[in-house]
Structure 1
């Protein structure tokens, strides 16, 4: 019996992680987690006001949540 040579391991290239920049927004969501409105991060009061407006109707609860989206460079 003749032993076969072990196959050389191929060097794997590491993936280059592209730096993705994110921007923060306030999102107004309903109880079904559907985003209804988006406000700039500095406009938290406006987002809270919108959520309160929507909740005051008979449509159920609405809340705000921090949303981070990638910045698209044009």
Structure 2
């Protein structure tokens, strides 16, 4: 199990839970299991989120392993150019 902090408006899509515990070994599993529990998050996780693991932001590396004691944040991607 890992503990994930849902940043900003993402918490509203997860029954207003700001922190959730999820069984996941990788970012891909995190997305799959969060989407199963909170279907409202699914569309956001397809293209609009980034994951911070111990302060490093991952945008497309979904096979990244999640340490059990990691600080994990799920947040909306920032647009820029």
The alignment's TM-score, normalised by the length of structure 1, stands at 0.32
Structure having the larger proportion of residues in strand:
1
* Larger helix proportion of the pair: 2
Q: Taking structure 2 as the reference length, what is the TM-score of the superposition?
A: 0.30
